Every structure is written in structure tokens, then in C-alpha cells.
Amino acid sequence: MTTSETSERSLEAQLELLRSVNTAGSAKRIQDGILQRARWQRRQVITASLGAVVAAIGTFHFVSQGDPFGYFTLALTTLVLVFAAWRSAHQASSLATLKSGASMLASWRTELQQQLRQTRVAPLIALLFGAMTVWVVWRTGLLHYKSALFLLTSTGIFVFTAYQYLVVRPSLQRELDMLGRDG
């Protein structure tokens, strides 16, 4: 064997090793991403369920008070949160058990695209609850305990919405872009 044949084989062996390492790293990243998204979906089910319960209790309160604006707003919020909890539970189960014929990469990409669409729900909830807060403050006055509770809750919802748009949405977009490069 000549020196050029040895270096050519060595180079080919190194390139093959590099390909296998890159593929293994990508597969591990994909698997970790899918598991992370499944855990995130389960947490989202719990959060949306708790929010739906709180909104439903508020709906019953406004029904007993005879306030149609509060009833309508909280009933709509309850429905949105119940749908979000159902959808997240469905997505978590579909991620945990990949459908036959679906690749991990395609499942992860689909999940990221769905989560990007879901980040559009947070502003709707914030808008509805913000409108109801303004109405409660207008009806009861700024120094009333109901106003303080609604303002505190609205602040939490608005912070959550800002977090969705400033942190979660760009992170999801980066992951989706990374998947575009990998697959």
C-alpha cells in the first residue's frame, strides 16, 4: 500500500466516523426534543385544567350575581381553556406513542408547528380577561378587593402572554429551524 492509498482510506474512515457521530447526535437531539415536548404538553394540560376550573367557578359567581358581561367572558375563557387542555392531552399522548409510519423527525416538526399556533391563544385569553378586569374595576372601584384580585390575575395572565411571545415562541421557532437543517 502506498502512502496516498493509506491516507485516502484514513480520510474515508474519518469521514464515515464523522457522518455516524453527526447522525447519532441529531437522533439524540430529536429524541430529547420529543421527550421534552411531551413533558411540556403534560404540564400544559395541568395548567389549562386549573385555569378552566378557576374560570368555571368565576362563571358560576357571575351567573349568581346576574352579570352577563362577566358570565360571557368567563364562560368563553373556560371553553378556550378546556379546549387547550384537551388538545394538549391529545398531543402529549400522540408524542408519547408515535403513530405507525410516522418518523420521529416528522412528529417533532408537527408538534413544534402546532405549539407555534397555540401561542396565538394566550393573547385572546389576555384580552378577554383584561376586558373583564376593566369592567370589574369600573363597577366596583379601584380600592375594592374584587378589583385587586382581578388586577393581580390580569397581571399574571399578561406576564404569561409576554413570556409566550418573547421566550417560548422564539425558542419554538429556533427548534423548527434546527429541524429544517437536520432533516
**Direct distance between the N- and C-terminal alpha carbons of the chain, in angstroms, rounded to an integer:** 39
CA atoms of 164 and 118, how far apart (whole Å): 10
Residue 1 in this model has a pLDDT that exceeds 60: no
CA atoms of 33 and 41, how far apart (whole Å): 12
Radius of gyration for the chain, computed over Cα atoms and rounded to the nearest angstrom: 24
Q: Which domain holds residue 135?
A: 3-182
Going from the C-alpha of 5 to that of each of 9, 11, 12, 51, 159, the distances in angstroms are: 6, 10, 10, 68, 63
Given this model, what pLDDT does residue 63 score? 83
C-alpha 52: how far from chain center: 16
Q: What does the pLDDT look like over 22-53, one tens digit per residue?
A: 555 666 666 676 677 777 777 878 888 888 88
| pTM for the predicted model, two decimal places | 0.56
**Cell for 115?**
405549539
Residue with cell 413533558: 39
Which pLDDT band, with edges at 50, 70 and 90, does 182 fall under?
low
Given this model, what pLDDT does residue 134 score? 92
Give the number of domains in the chain: 1
State the DSSP string of 78-134. Answer: HHHHHHHHHHHHHHHHHHHSPPTT--HHHHHHHHHHHHHHHTTHHHHHHHHHHHHHH
